[in-house]
Structure 1
Amino acid sequence: MSDEIAVRDGAGRIELVRELWLEVLGLDEVADDVNFFEVGGDSLRLVALVERIRARAGQPVRTMDVLRANTVRAQAELIG
């Protein structure tokens, strides 16, 4: 599934954001409703995540919005 198609459907958005979290945080798995900062996120990783969301989802997301939407599920809704 291409990233463009993934962004159009809810499950695809969740999967895309989860994949980006795993890349940025260096984890093997992450729950959809856990706080980014509780699983090893920090300000530098947040910036990296925002850049990857912008690039892969093609969405002009703001760092502050991603910070406030601090779970996989909430960030997937943000790019919906």
Structure 2
Amino acid sequence: MLPFAIGALRAIVEMLGLCLLGMGAMALLAGAGRQGNPVYRLFELITRAPRQLVARLLPGRERPLLAGVLCFLLLFLLWLALAAWRAALA
């Protein structure tokens, strides 16, 4: 049961990381018009909670790019840690 739970949590973390990558790619491609894009808004909705959590940890609150990049790095490290934990159980 525990390996399944770790795998499910890892899938959620992976989805959040891919949504953050998608947001970054759309920001580069669409520029200022990204706010009107429904896919970008969906990615923004999905990743709002982790980005806000990371933004609260940062000293300067007016750094959305830094918060997004740091959020992606933390999610990536969590994804690797979950992979290592699941491999240790097997």
Larger Rg: 2
The alignment's TM-score, normalised by the length of structure 2, stands at 0.30
The alignment's TM-score, normalised by the length of structure 1, stands at 0.32
